[in-house]
A and B are shown apart, each in its own frame.
Chain A
Amino acid sequence: MEILLAIMIGILYATGIYMMLRRSLVKLIIGIILLGNGANLLIFFLGRITKGAPPIIPGDAKVFSEAFADPVPQALILTAIVISFGLQSFAIVLVKRAHTVVRTDDLDEMNATDEDS
């Protein structure tokens, strides 16, 4: 299964980058989201995967007695997911704003850094 997961991560990265390389603004955002998902999964994957053993101390026990899933990557990803929502919404709003101002969807036409050039 690990191999399958690794391939999925690769696909997420590849499609994310592919979408970011497009000239359309909306595709850029979709690319960022896909890439973000891929990154989350990668972190999760690198913490090793465990089936059926969530990092929750069972019932009356005070410490773990059996194997458990690694909680650290989970904690990292949890905040990452929430923050990526903030990032996505900001990106969407930025795109929308840019679209209303410059009236173009083509990233290639947004290549000037100075207002007068």
Chain B
Amino acid sequence: MRTTIILKTASNYLLPVLLVFSVFILLRGHYLPGGGFVGGLIAAIAFILHAFANGLPNTKELLVIHPGFLIPLGLSISFLSGLAPVLFTDLPFMTGLWSHDPVAILGSVGSALFFDIGVYLVVVGVTLTIIFTISESA
């Protein structure tokens, strides 16, 4: 793929910035617009941009593992966060558990946050798997 030097250079800086932004979007989701779905999509776009600029093999190298592995990881986190109330207390599945004191920046931390992190990982995994698979075989 032919790319300009500007895009190539910019993407190297944009990747970490976009990733941090996506995590920010993820974490603030409970109070302001954002959340796991959007955060995950932004992170995926960040990687795709990097892949466009530097070629797919480089991006894959950067990722170390195949993005597909993020899917089961995310699903497990979401599921376990739903299961947590069953395991730790006697509450039913998917009951929210909350920390007593608000944590800095995040506000209250609870099982819902972990659930959202799971969603985030699944979305990143799914999107990257789809785009990578298609661009590899296309």
- Contact between chain A and chain B defined by CB under 8 Å: yes
Given A82-B123, A86-B126, are A56 and B134 neighbors across the interface (CB < 8 Å)? Answer: no
Contacts of B130 on A, CB cut-off 8 Å?
A: 86, 89
- Pairwise interchain contact B33-A56, C-beta atoms closer than 8 A: yes
Is the contact region of chain B dominated by helix, strand, or loop, or is it mixed? helix
Determine the interface band of chain A, counting residues with CB < 8 A from chain B: 10 to 19
Is B32 an interface position by the 8 A CB rule? yes
Given A56-B32, A86-B126, are A78 and B37 neighbors across the interface (CB < 8 Å)? Answer: yes
18 contacts across the A-B interface (CB closer than 8 A): A54-B33, A56-B31, A56-B32, A56-B33, A78-B37, A79-B37, A82-B37, A82-B41, A82-B123, A85-B127, A86-B126, A86-B130, A89-B130, A89-B134, A92-B134, A93-B133, A93-B134, A96-B138
Interface 1/0 per residue, B103-130 and A, CB below 8 Å: 0000000000000000000010011001
Give A89 to B48 CA distance when docked, in angstroms. 15
A64 to chain B, nearest CB (A): 14
Contacts of A78 on B, CB cut-off 8 Å?
A: 37
Give A112 to B32 CA distance when docked, in angstroms. 52
Contacts of A92 on B, CB cut-off 8 Å?
A: 134
Interface 1/0 per residue, A73-117 and B, CB below 8 Å: 000001100100110010011001000000000000000000000
Give A86 to B104 CA distance when docked, in angstroms. 36
Contacts of B127 on A, CB cut-off 8 Å?
A: 85
Give A82 to B123 CA distance when docked, in angstroms. 9
Contacts of B138 on A, CB cut-off 8 Å?
A: 96
B19 to chain A, nearest CB (A): 19
Contacts of B31 on A, CB cut-off 8 Å?
A: 56
Contacts of A96 on B, CB cut-off 8 Å?
A: 138
Give A82 to B35 CA distance when docked, in angstroms. 13
Give A93 to B126 CA distance when docked, in angstroms. 14
A5 to chain B, nearest CB (A): 22
